[in-house]
Amino acid sequence: MDTDVIMTVDTCAPTSAPTTALYLRLLNALTTEHNPSSASESLLVDEAARRAAQASELDTFADTLSGAMQSVVSDFVDSSQQDRAGLATGFVMAERLTGIINQSQRCSRAMILAIDRLQEIGAKRYEFAALGDHDPRFVTELQCYSFLIRRFRTGKQPCARCGCRGRGCWIADQRAWECAKCNAQTGIRVGSVMEHSALPLTTWFKAIGIVSRRPNIKTAELAKSLSIIRRATVLSIRKRIRDALISQPNTLLGIADIDLPELSERFL
């Protein structure tokens, strides 16, 4: 990322309520799209969302100031006497408008740089994912963990004991979320089809994507896609996912962004 461009922009976060709301919407959308799994990727996502919101806020302010400046200039032209104070006000407003436009352009450039970098990272993920039919968001264990941890932090996944959402912290050594209200620790797989399974998260995420799209996939084909030799393991994975599609889609944790298929009965 070009730090020179970023450092020339005011580093304050969006201030007005509409701008903050826009920033949060963009942040959520970019996080969902790119699934950042490292601090640097998270910073890039935040940078892109924040600069886009700032540019929008500055553009709105520039439009307002431009309208006010035109009014001042019009009043000055129509006046029978040259009002020096009015002329000075016009010059000040013009200078301020130029500064706002320049700052908005810097915000836009910083946003584009951040998005370009995210796209470069995404392209590398796609190249690697294509080799194994993975969702490019979930190629590594770290990416899968980041996705699941974010569900706890954003309140999508509640505490297993008291149901509290979004309050607590991640305990890396225990691989669990500790609730700030009742201090209970909830395992990363609790409440999902992956609960009580020792298989890697990448295997489960890949299986959920495949079976969600193709509920009738043959056992042998699924085993080959997952690189699992033991038939009983593949049958168990497929059955869990199929059952979840029918009766408990929330246990799939939103991993596969799909329309649920029409299933009239459970598969055996």
Whether the per-residue pLDDT at 16 is higher than 80: the answer is no
> What's the confidence (pLDDT) of residue 264?
34
Using CB atoms within 10 Å of the CB of residue 52, give its burial: 0 to 12 exposed, 13 to 18 middle, 19+ buried.
buried
Using pLDDT thresholds of 50, 70 and 90, give the confidence band for residue 110. confident
SS3 12: coil
The residue that leads in pLDDT, 231 or 103, is: 231
The encoded tokens of residue 36 equal 């950042």
Mean residue pLDDT of the chain comes to: 75
167-199 confidence digits (pLDDT tens): 999 888 888 899 999 999 999 898 889 999 999
The encoded tokens of residue 162 equal 């008291």
pLDDT exceeding 70 applies to what percent of the chain? 71
The encoded tokens of residue 88 equal 């000075």
- Residue bearing tokens 């909830």: 186
Round to whole Å and give the CA distance between 127 and 254: 23
Lowest mean per-residue pLDDT among 42-46, 47-51, 68-72, 74-78: 74-78
Using pLDDT thresholds of 50, 70 and 90, give the confidence band for residue 231. very high
Round to whole Å and give the CA distance between 135 and 132: 9
Whether the per-residue pLDDT at 128 is higher than 70: the answer is no
Radius of gyration of the chain (CA): 26
Q: What is the dihedral of CA 104, 100, 75, 89, to 10 degrees?
A: 180
Round to whole Å and give the CA distance between 27 and 46: 6
> What's the confidence (pLDDT) of residue 8?
32
Round to whole Å and give the CA distance between 104 and 86: 27
One-character DSSP codes across 100-143: HHHHHHHHHHHHHHHHHHHHHHHHHHHHHHHHHT--TT-SSHHH
> What's the confidence (pLDDT) of residue 62?
73
pLDDT exceeding 90 applies to what percent of the chain? 19
Residue 214 neighbours by CB under 8 Å, 6+ apart: none
Longest Cα pair distance anywhere in the chain, in angstroms? 93
Closest CA to 244 of 215, 216, 206, 218: 215
Query: 141-153 and 201-213 helices cross at what angle (nearest 10)?
Result: 80
